[in-house]
Structures are given as C-alpha cells and as structure tokens.
Structure 1
C-alpha cells in the first residue's frame, strides 16, 4: 500500500449501537414463547422453507438487528429486501415484501411471533418519533425532540433503538445516566439547592444534572445551585414559553454558564406545535414509548 493510500472507513449503522448482551434478552423471549413442547413445530418438521415478511401498514421500518438475532438463534437466514435507516413503508392497500427468511419450517415458526412482536413495536415507536420530528423540522424548531424513561420493563433497548431510527433523542437511558432530580428527590432532601449540591458531589463533572421545576422561582433556584438542565414540567404552552424566555434572558446576564431548558409533561403530537420556541432546547415525550400504535407485519411461508 502506498503512503498516499487511504484506509476505507466502514459506514456506521444504527445496528453498531447494539450491545452484545442483547442476545441474552432475545434468548429469554424465545424461551418464554416456547417453555415446553412445540407441537406445531412437530407437525411441520424440518423441511426447508422460504417465508416472506410483509408489511401491512405504513410506517418507519425499525428493529432489524433484533429480528435478525431471533432467526440467527433458531438457525434461519434472513435476507432484507429494503434497508432499515430512513426507510418509509408506504402501505397503500397492498402488502409490501420487506424480507425473506429461509430455514427449516419448524424453526421459522419457532421465531415468528417473537420476531414480529419486536419489529412491530420498534417500528411503531420509530414511526411516531419521525412524525413528531417532521413537525419540529417543518416549524423550524432547532431543539431536541426526546423520548423518556417511560419504557416497557425488559424492552427498553428495543424501544430506545426505535427512537433513534425515528430521528429523535433517547433522553437518558437509565438511572445511571444523567441525574434527574424530581419532586420526590427535592422533598426528601429539603430543597432544590440541597438536592443539586448532593448530586454533584457524587456525579462529578462528567454527568449532567437536571431538575424538574414547577415555577420560574424553582428554576432560578436550580440554576443558582448549578443544575445543567431545567425541566419546566406540566406547564401550559404559553406559560412555559414565557418562563423559558425570562430564564434565558436573565441568566445570560448573570452567568456565562449555558443552562438548557426542557419542556415536558403531557405534550403530545397534537399539542407539540404550541411548545416550539427558540428558548426551549428540549421537548420530551412519554407518549413516544407509551400507547404507540404498532406497524403491522406478517410472515408467510410460501407454497411450493
């Protein structure tokens, strides 16, 4: 290789985010679905078959690595007919072929329901995330759209992955990520100032601290105590925007430290437009992972 030659850097994909321990979760889900005899698998046997994955509703395709791992564990091969990242499945009354699965008949059926559940849920979250991200982009909102920690127990990795594919932020992944001090923390320690000071002592410089605030006065106390992010919680849109503007203006003159403002609490795809503001840095939604519609997929073994 010449001195001028360049090494080709592989293109990053969202699948590269997945930790190696996700395979154990999928093993557990497969075990849950078949805890004893598989009589249906006994009926169809080991004959080699080809099944087609169809999409039967519109949405964003997400969850490919999880689908692949299910079928890898049961001994099948998956060939995707479309890519995952940025792919919109536009269902217009005719099912859309998305992938082909090949393997023994009983093993295709062994992985079928677990794989479809994963894909449908992940794609539904990605679709809702993309819808809200598009609304923000169309309105010229340059801040962050984020999900929350309101996820299904045991399923967080899949749901957070769906948020990323849909084009929004995951917010904090768990309690060991960013520190979020809510009303219960404040009441338990006596004050916002005490909670922030205690948190900083343990979190150090590398972890951000966010404080949930119900008024401008509480936000001022949090900022003065050294919080990095102020969450204005459960405020109506006009009150929130007015409060955010006031805080940004006042603290720009009082401190060189930049404090981020987050809007949260009861915001939905129908109401989010009224919260867009240049003074709001983050808008977070529990609804991105709660009560989201599924994207409909089916897996059909082809007749010979």
Structure 2
C-alpha cells in the first residue's frame, strides 16, 4: 500500500479553473449520446423529487468532480460532495462503501445522469489513483524528477484523462499537437536529419514553444542539442543505457559551462520513455534524468467502482 497522499504537496489552485469555455458542450454531447431518443426508464419513474447517494466501493482517488457537477446541473439536479476532489476513497471490510456525495433532483433526471456520471468519474478517478501511486513510488525511491503522462489518450475523452493526471499529481505532458513541437522518428526520417527537422521547427514555432526531440542514441541526442532542442527523449533505451547517456549529456553541459548558467550553453532537459511502468521504472530512475513519461498511468488502468442509489421509499 503506498504512503498516504499527504506525502505529496497540495495543489496550488482548483483544477476546475483550468477547464476551457467549450468543455460544457462536451457534457451535452455525452448526454445526447446516451439518450438519443425516448427515455423509457424516465417514463417509468417520472419527475418526483428524489435523493440519491453516490457510493465509492473500491480503493482510489476521487477525481472528476466538475464533470459530475455539470452532468447533473444540465439535468436540473444538485450534487453535495462529502469528499473533496483528490481525497482518498478507502473502503474497508467494516465499511465496504464510502459515502462520496448526495445527488438531488427529479427521479428521471437522476437516472439520465447516473451512468454518464459514473463512467466519467470511474475512469478519471482510476487515472488519478494510478498516477498518484506511480508518483509516490518515485518519491519513495528518492527520485524527485517529473512523472508525466503521454498523448496516448482516448479521442473525445482527452480532457477528462489529462484532468485525472493532474488530480493524481503528475504532469499531463503536452495536451495536443499544438502544445509543443515534438519531433519523433517519422518527422526526422521525413525531413532527412534531426538538425534539419529542428531548424524547420524553430523557423515557425517561435520563442514560446519548446522543441522536443525523440532520440534513439547518444549521438542523436547530442545532434538534437547542438541543433537547438530544449528537451531530448531517450526512447526505449535500456536502464544502463539511460544512465550512461544522461550522465554523458550532463557532463557535456558541465564541460561547456563549468556548471554555471552563463549563457554559453543551456542544459537540455532529459526525458526517458518507452515501456516504463510502476513495476519496472526503478531501474530507469537516476539523478541525471529530469522527466519520466509513461502511458501506464492512463492506458489500461483499472477504473474505480462507484454506484448511485436512490433512497428507497419508506
């Protein structure tokens, strides 16, 4: 069992404030997808006011609160939360389910939002939980670099998945193709060389976007840095290869600058990626690595089990 979440620093703000103006229309489309025509179940239960309890039934981290709030708000319901976003959901043998929230509104509206809300929160919370476990393990191993996700997200659901990473305490990495210039092997092969690819990117990216280059060898990493890359990714290196390459790149920088930020050269950030998981990442953690990126915190992770139950009539 990982250490308590209190071992990690608290967020400096409310993550809901990051959400773009367009996000509420996404919620509308989810509801439209789930009930594209007649609501037969709604006909059965009608519009009598009811109260439902949202239960957490498996271990995890609560994430996705603003999405659930908006789902029910669009249906004329209200949500009263009993746990804060980012809090542990910790059922026990004595208490097999935890009261997470109370939802109030017309019966048919509660049921219209039920599955959309549960699916969204289960996935978001699962990503937050896995992210937190990986981050805690890295810190317990004494490594203080950045744990990041990847762009291997689900089309149409990226906002929720990236949000879950933030609640879990990790870096969501680039949000989309416009967020950073990442030059991978296909870009390099198509352009002809790393140097040409970096120069082409810099000609349009301007000062505000970092140039990130995927490298298959130490020689490629050195070429990328010489061309002006800001971040190099050591992709699919062996653990020993990571240590040797990262140390060599840091030594290059020290030789050029004497270890001082004197303008003669900048230290390029070193990222490692490729098949890294909670189980095997220890081998790849070393002081000369700045970023460890992995899709294992959001691809194929277990969901957290939640349920919504209307209070039975007495």
TM-score, reference length from structure 2: 0.92
**Corresponding position: 1:259 with 2:268:** yes
> SS state of the match for residue 277, structure 2?
coil
| Other-structure match for 2:60 | 59
Question: 1:178-217 maps to which residues of 2 (within 5 A)?
Answer: 178-217=180-219
TM-score, reference length from structure 1: 0.95
Deviations 1:101-158 (A, max 9, x none): 0000000000000000110000000000000010111112111000000000000000
| Other-structure match for 2:297 | 288
> SS state of the match for residue 287, structure 1?
helix
Which whole-Å CA distance do the structure 1 matches of 2:57 and 2:73 have between them?
Answer: 24
Measure how far apart 1:283 and its partner are.
Answer: 0.1
> SS state of the match for residue 171, structure 1?
coil
**Corresponding position: 1:116 with 2:125:** no
Which whole-Å CA distance do the structure 2 matches of 1:125 and 1:269 have between them?
Answer: 13
| Other-structure match for 2:136 | 134
Which whole-Å CA distance do the structure 1 matches of 2:90 and 2:252 have between them?
Answer: 47
Deviations 1:32-65 (A, max 9, x none): 0000001000000001100000001000100000
Which whole-Å CA distance do the structure 2 matches of 1:181 and 1:24 have between them?
Answer: 32
| Other-structure match for 2:29 | 28
Which whole-Å CA distance do the structure 2 matches of 1:291 and 1:12 have between them?
Answer: 29
CA contact (8 A) 2:134 2:297 kept: no
| Other-structure match for 1:89 | 89
Where does structure 2 lack aligned partners over 5 or more consecutive residues? 1-11, 257-263
Which whole-Å CA distance do the structure 1 matches of 2:139 and 2:13 have between them?
Answer: 24
CA RMSD, Structure 1 to Structure 2 (Å): 0.9
Match of 1:301 among 302, 307, 310: 310
> SS state of the match for residue 100, structure 1?
strand
Match of 2:231 among 229, 249, 253: 229
> SS state of the match for residue 196, structure 2?
helix
| Other-structure match for 2:155 | 153
> SS state of the match for residue 178, structure 2?
coil
Which whole-Å CA distance do the structure 1 matches of 2:174 and 2:238 have between them?
Answer: 24
| Other-structure match for 2:46 | 45
> SS state of the match for residue 49, structure 1?
strand
| Other-structure match for 1:171 | 173
Measure how far apart 1:15 and its partner are.
Answer: 1.3
Measure how far apart 1:12 and its partner are.
Answer: 2.8
